[in-house]
Structure 1
């Protein structure tokens, strides 16, 4: 058995392999409610051999949406709409997860399909955004700095969304603290200029994330909990892998089980050097320095590369996004390429299996 197609256990959940689907925004919801598109989009990855399928960044409150077309879990109608989608993922043998998110100063923006960029105005259905400090993302509207009550509401919203996610059948939860969204905004000194207990020192900047981790763990006891980090801002003076490793250790002490390592997204002036596996070293550093399990993501597009990442000890799991869009049966193909003997080919597709 290859490393990529060996199982992994998250608390009481057994995941059939280590090739997972990263969350990918579809900008296709209506009032936060997932649609038939989401059902087909996510279920196909389970049929295609994924171990774990993470549904897209799903807002914990209306104002936490990236765009008006984002999915949500702030009301029971959204919970009920997610339930059959979750059942379809699980019914095809994969583990169903959801990423809980708040976009902060990067909320209320036009979707990529609109042909427009920047913030959506109130006249067009947008809303006032909130952030740790009244510092705008370049080209977006200026946010309002959250006060103590607003911070408490964010924590409560994450906990309430976690309860709804579990009620919908999701087996794993992920907290989104990456890509320049609210929790990442609190972590990075480039976006957090507060002078209270949520700003300044690393302990203070991490305070909101750690409160959210604790609240979600308490709201969903026993449910495996992932945290997604951007391990660097790719900008001078910003968040970096050393700080990520420290905070990952603190989060693990509060109930987080696994860490999904990505990068960037906080500032428009980031300078990213890309290439196959360009974020793997970040995952490896967090894994080594914090002593926690991690996933690697970022242009890992073929089975052999994914296997090398795991056998080198750089990560415990490989996540992919665009490759799953190009080939929703990436898992089945990867198993065939590595010669892994898996028993979860859909019976309807077995005749296409190369032997």
Structure 2
């Protein structure tokens, strides 16, 4: 095995060279040769949603900056981030911030908590977003804003940025070893889960009161509700069968509908997962992390520790249960679904294809365009089976200046309804507005997937676009991040 030879996107100077590279990789990744603009662009078309209109076909994904107060309140960097969400022109704000429904469910001690204490601040964030959007685009009646409700489960760090305080659904033989879990103590009991459902319901009621159009019941990236989808080995009413593994979702939805009947509900879902990966030290170049390789799973077959995964070969997706889950979603009257994959904590190359690894990651084991195509085609496959769900696609950022070309094709051909972007909006909030107005993007602002936005919080620093955003270039955490990258082998 040798590390893949990767052609960087900026080296592909024309659509023709991009097309040739895609062809050489042998992947199914379609795109439009030119960026359509104005009314000719598929990305500018409105879409109906339960009597409302979402004004265009791009969304801003939820992101957290590890930069709130220690009581889960708002701060200046957070305010700036939400303002940029409004300035982006996206008409669907999916989550805004990952908001913990309880203090002990935070992924870091500075994560926003959606509770009565922080209600005024959260309302202010929404107002700032709406004001920025109104000032730049002249209307907000076609702007839909949701809040993402979450509990970080296995990845909770509520009191110390460097200390895990996990709450888990079940014992996982590989992840337990990776993250130092050696007893059953972190497993949430059935009674714990009843109290957790109440926390989600209270959070949703607050979201409705401060003006959110919907809440996202987060089921992705290895966090708690996603982990419950893979709780095949858990006994009792919340494990085993898919009916049991989705019981939490149904209880949360029923509770929300009782207290906030006009609040819409969405779900962000990791549609498939793989086993955890780790760096291969034998192939590491001097001063760099090794390319990714799967952890040894041979003694755990059939692999009953994931969702949307081939239990006989857990480096392959199996969408059979994903399809069943989406049928459950439809049955609950939920129409908004945002599809991602895997987890940034243990297989980031399938979750967020990037050319440069975060400090706790590994060099890409494949050309990242392979991962982009994998996610896009899973969404295409699922959209064909669920035409009435509004599906948001993920994994587009690595396409960089070719993002509008690819997004335009898949939206135009009804393979996805809306395309979501995340931290790219920090350095370049006008990306898709520029693309659909001017037919081109400003390459100097385009995210090159340096992963500084992940390496920083993995090392107790605040997340941001340190390479491209002047705000973060001069941030006090910038020199600390530089030293961390040098020490961990995550440097470019």
Q: So what's the TM-score if we normalise by structure 2?
A: 0.61
Q: Deviations over 1:184-223 (max 9, x none)?
A: 110014xx52121211112211221222233233332222
- Contact persistence 1:89–1:95 (CA under 8 A): no
Change (3 A) 1:336 1:101: same
Answer with 32-41 or 8-17: which moved more.
Answer: 8-17
Match of 1:239 in 2: 307
Change (3 A) 1:137 1:315: farther
Which residue, out of 196, 211, 219, partners 1:154? 196
Q: What are the residue-to-residue correspondences of 1:87-98 with 2, within 5 Å?
A: 87-91=127-131, 92=133, 93=140, 94-98=143-147
Match of 1:254 in 2: 332
1:44 aligns with 2:81: no
Match of 1:125 in 2: none
Q: Deviations over 1:83-126 (max 9, x none)?
A: 11101222323432211101111111799xx6x5xx34xxxxxx
Match of 2:421 in 1: 320
- Contact persistence 2:104–2:158 (CA under 8 A): no
Q: Deviations over 1:216-253 (max 9, x none)?
A: 33332222221000011123653113212211221221
Answer with 256-265 or 242-251: which moved more.
Answer: 242-251
SS at match of 1:227: strand
Match of 1:198 in 2: 238
Match of 2:97 in 1: 56
- Contact persistence 1:104–1:129 (CA under 8 A): yes
Match of 2:218 in 1: 176
Cα displacement (A) at 1:271: 6.8
Change (3 A) 1:70 1:32: same
1:130 aligns with 2:130: no
Between the two proteins, the alignment pairs up a number of residues equal to: 324
Cα displacement (A) at 1:48: 2.5
Match of 1:350 in 2: none
Cα displacement (A) at 1:277: 4.5
Pair member with larger Rg: 2
- Contact persistence 1:233–1:270 (CA under 8 A): no
Match of 2:50 in 1: 11
Answer with 145-154 or 329-338: which moved more.
Answer: 329-338
Q: Matches of 1:158 and 1:167 in 2, distance apart?
A: 14
Unaligned runs of 5+ in 1: 121-127, 340-355
Cα displacement (A) at 1:41: 0.8
Q: Matches of 2:379 and 2:159 in 1, distance apart?
A: 31
Change (3 A) 1:9 1:298: same
Q: Deviations over 1:258-285 (max 9, x none)?
A: 1000000187368736324441122222
Answer with 193-202 or 256-265: which moved more.
Answer: 193-202
Q: Matches of 2:221 and 2:65 in 1, distance apart?
A: 16
- Contact persistence 1:162–1:173 (CA under 8 A): yes
- Contact persistence 1:105–1:137 (CA under 8 A): no
Unaligned runs of 5+ in 2: 1-38, 134-139, 276-302, 309-318, 351-365, 441-492
1:304 aligns with 2:341: no
1:279 aligns with 2:319: no
Change (3 A) 1:24 1:110: farther
Cα displacement (A) at 1:65: 0.8
Q: So what's the TM-score if we normalise by structure 1?
A: 0.83
Q: What are the residue-to-residue correspondences of 1:48-127 with 2, within 5 Å?
A: 48-53=88-93, 54-73=95-114, 75-91=115-131, 92=133, 93=140, 94-108=143-157, 116=162, 119-120=163-164
The structure where strand makes up a greater share of residues is 1
1:293 aligns with 2:390: yes
Cα displacement (A) at 1:71: 0.7
